[in-house]
Amino acid sequence: MADTSIVTVDLSPFFNGDESGMKDAKEVITRACSDYGFFQIVNHGVPPSLMAQALDFFKTFFELPNEEKLKASPGEGAPFEPAGYRKQPDHSVEKNEFLVMYPPASSFNVYPDNPPELKQVFEETFSHLMKAGLLVESILNDCLGLPPNFLKEFNHDRSGDFLVALRYFPTNDARCSGLSAHEDGNCFTFVFQDVVGLEFLKDGVWIPAIPIEGGLVVNVGDIIQVLSNNKFKSATHRVIRQEVKSRHSFAYYRNLEGEKWVEPLPKFTEEIGEAAKYRGFFYKDFAAMKMKSDTHPSSYPKVIVTIKHYAIST
**Averaged pLDDT, groups of 10, the chain, 314 residues long:** 79 98 98 97 98 97 94 71 78 74 91 94 97 98 98 95 94 71 96 94 93 96 98 95 89 95 97 97 92 52 74 88
Q: What is the largest CA-CA distance in the chain?
A: 59
Q: Identify the helix (H) or strand (E) that includes residue 289.
A: helix 283-295
Three-class SS of residue 181?
strand
The C-alpha angle with vertex 180 and arms to 210 and 50, in degrees rounded to 5, equals 40
Domains and CATH numbers, the chain: 8-310 (2.60.120.330)
Looking at the chain, which runs of residues are DSSP E strands?
A: 8-10, 38-42, 84-87, 96-101, 162-168, 179-182, 188-193, 198-202, 205-208, 216-220, 237-239, 247-254, 261-262, 281-282
Three-class SS of residue 152?
helix
Q: Determine the pLDDT at residue 91.
A: 45
Residue 196 CA, distance from chain mean position = 16
Residues 6 or more apart whose CB falls under 8 angstroms from that of 53 comprise 121
Residues 6 or more apart whose CB falls under 8 angstroms from that of 113 comprise 71, 72
Q: Determine the pLDDT at residue 29.
A: 98
- Count of Cβ atoms closer than 10 Å to residue 258 Cβ: 17
Q: Determine the pLDDT at residue 245.
A: 87
Residues 6 or more apart whose CB falls under 8 angstroms from that of 268 comprise 227, 228, 229, 231, 274
Residues paired with 85 in a beta bridge:
99
